[in-house]
Structure 1
Amino acid sequence: MSDSRRLGVAVVGAGYWGPNLIRNFRIAEDWDLVAVCDLDVDRAQRVLGERSGVDVHADLAEVLSRDDVDAIAIATPARTHQDIALAALHAGKHVLVEKPLAESVAQGSTMVDLARSQGLVLMADHTYCYTPAVLKIRELVEAGELGDILFVDSVRINLGLVQPDVDVFWDLAPHDLSILDFILPGGLRPTGVSAQGGDPLGAGKPCVGYLTMPLPGGAIAHVHVNWLSPTKIRQMVIGGSRRTLVWDDLNPQQRLSVYDRGVDLAQQSVDSSDDRAAATISYRLGDTWAPALPEREALGAMVAEYAACIRDQRASRTDGEAGLRVLSVLEAASASLADGGALVDAGLSTPELEAV
């Protein structure tokens, strides 16, 4: 593929998320938006505008038969992701999929396997992983600025729409899980998953949820998701052995704050005649600083990454395997809920998933 040629893309789905993808593909230098596919043709046409020059299709097969479509972007309900993605991969098209990757690990694995066998890019639209804040967090973690990760506490709550087909875990937690997978060394591989959910409205599904994940090495991650809070909070605290980082996504003036504060624990021998030891605790009270962040739209960076992966024939930073790890935790959370909050193995250390 010539690096100078713009790639042809079709967006499948013009509902809630589709218009955002359409807008970013239209202005991207690497892409030529050639088609939008939606069962509601009038809605798709309204999103594009009357004089857009972009074709609208109601039939996916028509889109996939076009020679000028190199890739598609799926922005439809999760229950449709597998069928659309498999059809596109069989047609030789690269695929970008809105979160979550699929309805189950089994479905997602089928998609990943087919993309690999076809030599095509399968990418999860984990949008937060392309925000300047999360990219900076990953950079700081990789550089060792925080030290060893000790804990992560994430809160994503607001007065939100109670979804008809999924609970609050499957609706909101994929954002936090994809971020954890992106910033943690080795990705998101908890040693277990425990979930507690509440349904005070009687909606028939958890509307408030708490997800606890022990991590390798003794660290722990906690995610709170909630549709019922009158206050909107988007915050993540990442505690390290050297520094602690706080990400407040609703504070554009200072999204990231790094605290050179913490607790140092040293073991001292109490009696040389036995193996008893006492802990000496010291508190570190250093400076606080705020990394400078560029202002740019995450979806613009994401569609640029999609094009680069196709041109360079490489996996993306949020590839199908990342989508599978998120799905594995979500499935384990559902199993934990069914078992009264028991700690459930997510299967992320098994050779089968590591080999995917």
Structure 2
Amino acid sequence: MDETPPGYSRGLDLAGATGQLRVAVIGAGYWGPNLARNFTASPDWELAGIVDLDQPRAAKLAAAQGRVPVFRSIDELLDLVDVDAVAIATPAHTHHGIALTALKAGKHVLVEKPLADSRIKGLEMVEEAEERELVLMADHTYCYTPAVLKIRELIADGSLGDILFIDSVRINLGLVQPDVDVFWDLAPHDLSILDFILPGGLQPVEVAAHGADPLGTGHACIGHLTFALPNDAMAHVHVNWLSPTKIRQLVVGGSRRTLVWDDLNPQQRLSIYDRGVSLDRQSRSAADKKASAISYRLGDTWSPALPEHEALGQMVAEFASSIWQQRPARTSGAAGLRVLSVLEAVSSSLEADGRSSAVIGNEVQLEGTR
């Protein structure tokens, strides 16, 4: 009698004590080589194939990783090679079809951001994985950086106090994408980080987005996104393809301390400021709060030491652990779906000239029409 758990390859060591998982990377373009390199370097994985329609490009990547086999399609891969998982690094509009093919073949799936090009497609991917008891993981790479892991820890242990505001800036002189706007290109990074560090994940009730297209490309090249956080706090995300200055910065303001993450400063990526505005927290009514005296706190600034490791290495290790332990990954398909929900609401807000839009189930409703 076969007692292999549904969706798991026969002979797989679920405890992770021996052997390796076999994985194929689908897509040999921009991101695929990074995934292939980290799978090759990982003790948990054996890179078993590269899939790409561009065979010379696939062969070049395969040669760099020890001459692994190359394939033109996922169907050819699944017909010829036994793998436990696939990692998808192809354009977003192809994620849904490739992922469903792999899931229906009983393979675990890792998908680069965004999970899909629509929430309904992402939802179908998540439901298929759950039904087959397979791991669907979103490659939210930033969530595995030492800095973001530390931010999550500081928020969780109360070091920052109550969150008052979050301000995220991701701007640079970037490649204007032909098929998506700046929100869909850059904001998934910021939204996935917020989903990872906020207790309960990314669950805004509604969002408001404003975009500009001064180049006449047909897509917003500059964007600002705002949404409410619990306890009347606010989050703001600024994305921009047109800035000659590159900035990657996240500010998390708390009632006790404020944290600044500067991803472009390797000498001091995180700074913790023990200064800010203080308000008598004993007064809880609106009238009492207005009457409470505001004071300013001026304390020390310090920078926590961070370990050195490559985020993608941690990410592929988490992918293996989630498969062996039969649990959702830390950046699961559900996390990717939450990001997609916000992105779709952003698109609806842009179409409505910045009016707030809310995601309820699979429907996006505009303020004033609910």
TM-score interval, smaller chain: over 0.9
Aligned to 2:311: 298
Counterpart pick for 2:253 among 225, 239, 255:
239
Aligned to 2:301: 288
Q: Would you say the 8 A contact 2:168–2:251 is kept in 1?
A: yes
Aligned to 1:77: 91
How much does 1:346 deviate?
2.6
5 Å matches for 1:1-356?
1-2=12-13, 3=16, 4-49=18-63, 52-66=66-80, 68-266=82-280, 278-347=291-360
Question: Which secondary structure does the structure 1 equivalent of 2:206 belong to?
Answer: coil
Question: Which secondary structure does the structure 1 equivalent of 2:301 belong to?
Answer: strand
Question: Which secondary structure does the structure 2 equivalent of 1:242 belong to?
Answer: coil
Partner Cα separation in structure 2 for residue 156 and residue 51 of structure 1 = 32
Inter-CA distance 341–70: structure 2 relative to 1 (3 Å threshold): same
| Cα displacement string for residues 30-67 of structure 1 (whole angstroms, at most 9, x for unaligned residues) | 00001000000100111232782300000211212345
Fraction of identical pairs, as percent? 67
Partner Cα separation in structure 2 for residue 257 and residue 51 of structure 1 = 38
| Cα displacement string for residues 317-339 of structure 1 (whole angstroms, at most 9, x for unaligned residues) | 10011001000000000000000
Inter-CA distance 301–267: structure 2 relative to 1 (3 Å threshold): closer
Inter-CA distance 145–267: structure 2 relative to 1 (3 Å threshold): closer
Partner Cα separation in structure 2 for residue 347 and residue 222 of structure 1 = 21
Q: Would you say the 8 A contact 1:189–1:349 is kept in 2?
A: no
Q: Would you say the 8 A contact 2:40–2:65 is kept in 1?
A: no
Structure 2 unmatched ranges of 5 or more: 1-11, 364-370
Inter-CA distance 249–275: structure 2 relative to 1 (3 Å threshold): closer
Question: Which secondary structure does the structure 2 equivalent of 1:97 belong to?
Answer: strand
Structure 1 unmatched ranges of 5 or more: 351-356
How much does 1:275 deviate?
7.8
Aligned residue pairs, count: 346
Partner Cα separation in structure 1 for residue 21 and residue 289 of structure 2 = 67
Partner Cα separation in structure 2 for residue 230 and residue 158 of structure 1 = 6
